[in-house]
Amino acid sequence: MTHLSEGPRGRRFLYELLVAGGAEELSRAVWDFEWRIAKDDGSRAYLVMVEETEAPAPRRFKLPALPWFTRVRIKHRSMLSRRSTPRAVPTWKENVPPGDSLITSAGVADLIRAATPDPSHASHALTEAVAAARYWQEPDATDLILSDPVIVAALAEIDDRPLLEALEKDRTEPFAVLGGDWRGDAGTVLETWLAEITAAVERAQRERPADVRANWSGMWHSTPPYRLLKSQDRMVDGVPTGLTDVEDGPPRDRATVLSVRVKDDKVYVVDSAQAWVALCTVYPLDVTAEVRHDWYRVTGRDGTWIIPNWRDVARDWDGVLVTPRGYLTAAGRALPAGEHASVLAGWNPGETFWLRDCDTAGPEEWRLLDDRWEPVRAQP
């Protein structure tokens, strides 16, 4: 079985889990390592701001991730002046004099091995790992650090089975958070999507630069069309995870939620990179011209890219589910599919896209209050 450390989102999940469990020295080490990367490479410089959100505290840098601080990184160079290819984490030479600020991959790995993962923080760590995902530019500094082979080896020693069990223990009926232009009629939506994506690829072939390093961006996700109904069926303390485990975060502080009635539906389950590759191989759609610039920046690969042809998938399946394991091990990687490759991009963990019309109940109104989602109670 694939270990979570094999995927960039899985590595970030494991790191966030250890930090949430009190591994402050690990957090400080990675924070200092990020500074060394920024200082070492002028093309990848960061402006770091510390925003005070609750209790007063002295404004200092190089602090562990404390609850009253929010760290914001803003690239201060333009896309044109910034290096567009993924860069390996620097390796420090053995003869460099030791110092308090000299953080090495081996040192971070030792701190990972010294920490103890607590499954009770699994949901929080998943939310953090999801929020840090991006498929339209290079990995952020933390993801770069966690991709170092020495650090990956340390993360691979963590027993991830109880962590995944903690994520999946509260499964209930699926809930859909309404958004986009969902109105039903899945068949029409899929036919329209196929025509639109085919036209977009043809236009990209004509108009976009041949240089894969060019400053160009287009469609970067590999999901079915967002006008379909989608749901997440895991609950954390009664809160639909479609409100919490969302890439780019929830778009607003209020949401409408439907309960999705599921019976004997045929749902294709993506619980591994291999399951995603199989789906792409059986129902291939070449989208190279549309995604090549974005996915090159993410993966460093230049070649033919495919995604599932969702119109054709719908002929055999009612929905497609990406489980938490599938998301954490597969998302954000170049996954070989014969002579081609694909990227699982734009999905949320535990998310099902419904390729047919579904029965629903509700709606319920939810609101975000003091960083927690709660249902809006009807007035008596």
Answer whether residue 192 shows pLDDT above 90.
yes
3 state SS of 173: strand
| Structure confidence at residue 171 as a pLDDT band (50, 70, 90) | low
CB of 341 closer than 8 Å to CB of 328: no
Mean pLDDT of 225-250: 76
**Mean pLDDT value of segment 78-95:** 34
CA 145 – CA 149 distance, rounded (Å):
9
CA dist list (Å): 287 to 18, 221, 244, 259: 38, 11, 30, 33
pLDDT above 90 as % of the chain: 52
Output the CA–CA distances (angstroms, integers) from residue 346 to 23, 129, 134, 222, 313, in the order listed: 30, 13, 8, 6, 18
pLDDT at res. 173: 67
Rounded average pLDDT over 11-27: 95
Cα 3 versus chain centre, distance: 17
Element (H, E) at 313: helix 310-313
User: In the structure, what pLDDT confidence band is assigned to residue 82 with cuts at 50, 70 and 90?
Assistant: very low
Quote the CA–CA distance of 114 and 111 in Å, as a whole number.
Answer: 5
Please state the rounded mean pLDDT for residues 321-329.
95
Q: What is the pLDDT of residue 225?
A: 93
pLDDT of 333 over the 50 cut: yes
Supply 218's token pair: 């287009």
Question: Per 3-state DSSP, what percentage of the chain is helix, strand, and coil (rounded to 5)?
Answer: 35, 20, 40
Q: Which amino acid is at 347?
A: W
Lowest-confidence segment of 241-245, 281-285, 316-320 by average pLDDT: 241-245
3 Cβ contact partners less than 8 Å away, ≥ 6 residues apart: 10, 156, 160, 329
Q: Which residues pair with 76 in a beta bridge?
A: none
Task: Give which of 294, 213, 44 is closest to 145, Cα–Cα.
Answer: 44
Q: Helix or strand or coil: residue 62?
A: coil
Asked if 235 and 169 count as a contact pair (C-beta separation under 8 A), the reply is no
Give the C-alpha separation, 289 to 305, whole Å.
8
Q: What values do phi and psi take at 124, rounded to 5? A: -65, -45
What's the confidence (pLDDT) of residue 4?
97
E strand or H helix at 30, and its extent? helix 24-40
**Average pLDDT along the chain:** 80
Are the beta carbons of 150 and 109 closer than 8 angstroms? yes
Q: How many CB atoms lie within 10 A of CB 374?
A: 12
pLDDT at 175: 77
Predicted confidence at residue 81, as pLDDT, reads: 25
Q: How far is CA 337 from CA 4, 42, 79, 286, in A?
A: 20, 36, 31, 12
3-state SS, 126-170, equals: HHHHHHCCCCCCCCCHHHHHHCCHHHHHHHHCCCCHHHHHHHHCC
pLDDT tier at 84, thresholds 50, 70, 90: very low
- Residue type at position 186: A
d(CA 277, CA 308): 9
CA atoms within 13 A on the CB side of 369: 7
Query: What residues are paired with 48 via a beta bridge?
Result: 73
- Its pTM stands at 0.79
> Interior CA angle at 234 toward 9 and 357, to 5°?
105
